[in-house]
Structures are given as structure tokens and as C-alpha cells.
């Protein structure tokens, strides 16, 4: 039986990170300005997506207590 490379907390954080990234893309899509040049498309959405990627990075590098 092969052991998974990450712990349960790592996978949970990765799933949360993916959800945050998807929410960021949805926020960018909600922008009503032409070509997405409004506040949602240029500021809020990308910041949410970036925070999701930062959480993904943290989830990958976080060391599990059982390792």
C-alpha cells in the first residue's frame, strides 16, 4: 500500500485554495465594464485569485505532523 505524499490538512487546504481561485475567476466574470476593465475585473478578482495561489503554495510546502 502506498502512502499519500501529503497529509489530510494539506489536501484540505489545497481544495480550499482551488475553491478560492474559482471564486476569483467568477468575481472577474461578474464585472459589467467592457472587457472587464472595472474594479472587479482589474482589482478584486485578481487579488482573490492570487490569495488562492498563495494558499496552494502554503498547502504544498506545509509539513504534516505525521511526517
Name the burial class of residue 4, with classes exposed (0-12), middle (13-18) and buried (19+) by CB atoms within 10 angstroms of its CB.
exposed
> Has residue 62 got a pLDDT over 60?
yes
DSSP labels, 12-47: HHHHHHHHHHHHHHHHHHT--SGGG-SHIIIIIHHH
Please tell me the pTM assigned to this model. Answer: 0.88
- Quote the number of domains for the chain: 1
pLDDT in tens, 32-58: 998 889 999 999 999 999 999 999 999
| Domain carrying residue 12 | 8-61
Average pLDDT score, the chain: 91
The answer to whether position 1 is within a domain reads no
Measure the CA angle with vertex 18, ends 17 and 21; round to 5°. 90
Amino acid at each position: 500500500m502506498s502512502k499519500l505524499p501529503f497529509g489530510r490538512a494539506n489536501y484540505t487546504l489545497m481544495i480550499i485554495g482551488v475553491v478560492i481561485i474559482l471564486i476569483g475567476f467568477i468575481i472577474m466574470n461578474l464585472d459589467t465594464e467592457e472587457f472587464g476593465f472595472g474594479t472587479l475585473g482589474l482589482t478584486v478578482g485578481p487579488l482573490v485569485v492570487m490569495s488562492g495561489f498563495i494558499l496552494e503554495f502554503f498547502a504544498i510546502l506545509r509539513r504534516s505532523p505525521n511526517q
